[in-house]
Amino acid sequence: MAIQKSEAIILKTHGFRETSLIVNFFTQDFGKINGLIKGIRTQPQRYGGMPLVFSRNLLVFYDTPKRDLNLVTQCDAQDQFPAIRADLEKSNYAKYFIELLDAVTFAHDKNEKLFELAILALKALCGNFQSQQIARIFEIRLLNLSGFKPRLDACVHCQKEITGQEKFSSSLGGILCLRCLGQDKNAKAVLKGTLASIEYIENSIWKKALYLKINRNIASELANILSSFLDIHLDKEIKSRKFLI
């Protein structure tokens, strides 16, 4: 049983007995872990306060890989993102990001890039960027980093080059060419600008993606195809989405 230290984002908390708390962390160095913080509900000052969902913390814990629960000795808040907590819309988006992050990660599966993405998205929410745009960038990059990258450069079924009039199939995970449209009757026509925006967001640096100008039609199409793609590939309902505007 080794003592370990890592930065960690809090995904969920729930009470354990009268006095303690079980916290699901997404750590930078160990992936997703469960931690038990003993006595914190009666003596939060011992730990510098109660841990908050979507805060960034410095975590110290006893690593017990054979058990599901790790004993936490320290959970110091590094950033609680007060600008998000002061704003209902931003808070709802932050909770949505955390639910998606939880849905794509597995216990002890380290993914530093995903950790970095979540911190970038939370920081961006603290600024003056549109929450919707941050969400689209977060969704596209999260899909890429967790192995669900949609196929846009060629037909997802026959791998041939796309010649136009393509449709997006959420269930097959990409574009279908004219010959393969029968593979998914629910495939939807998409604007060229929607596909171009996804490719731009996949390939540009974070800051440039934040400043990408997306018109209203493309923004609404992007939101629709990304949410249906996420629902199908994560195979679960993302409950916090219904609180977004």
Name the residues that contact Zn ion, by CB under 5 A.
155, 157-158, 177, 180
User: What number of CA atoms fall less than 13 Å from residue 80's CA on the CB side?
Assistant: 11
What is the C-alpha to C-alpha distance for residues 169 and 192, in angstroms, rounded to an integer?
15
CB of 175 to Zn ion, least distance (A): 9
User: Given the structure tokens 């596209």, which residue do they identify?
Assistant: 140
Closer residue to Zn ion, CB minimum distance, 43 or 159: 159
Closer residue to Zn ion, CB minimum distance, 84 or 162: 162
Q: Is the distance from CB of 48 to CB of 54 less than 8 angstroms? A: no
Q: Radius of gyration (Cα) for the chain, nearest Å?
A: 20
Closer residue to Zn ion, CB minimum distance, 114 or 180: 180
Q: How far apart are the first and last CA of the chain?
A: 46
User: Given the structure tokens 């038990």, which residue do they identify?
Assistant: 36
CB of 197 to Zn ion, least distance (A): 23
Nearest to 32 by CA among 73, 61, 2: 61
Closer residue to Zn ion, CB minimum distance, 56 or 157: 157
Closer residue to Zn ion, CB minimum distance, 181 or 234: 181
Q: Residue 198 is encoded by which pair of tokens?
A: 């996804």
What is the C-alpha to C-alpha distance for residues 133 and 139, in angstroms, rounded to an integer?
10
Closer residue to Zn ion, CB minimum distance, 123 or 167: 167
User: Given the structure tokens 């967790």, which residue do they identify?
Assistant: 146
CB of 57 to Zn ion, least distance (A): 47
CB of 30 to Zn ion, least distance (A): 42
CB of 150 to Zn ion, least distance (A): 15
CB of 160 to Zn ion, least distance (A): 5
CB of 157 to Zn ion, least distance (A): 5
Closer residue to Zn ion, CB minimum distance, 80 or 183: 183
Helices (H), the chain: 82-85, 88-104, 112-126, 131-145, 192-203, 206-210, 216-234
Q: Is the distance from CB of 24 to CB of 72 less than 8 angstroms? A: no
Q: How many CB atoms lie within 10 A of CB 205?
A: 7
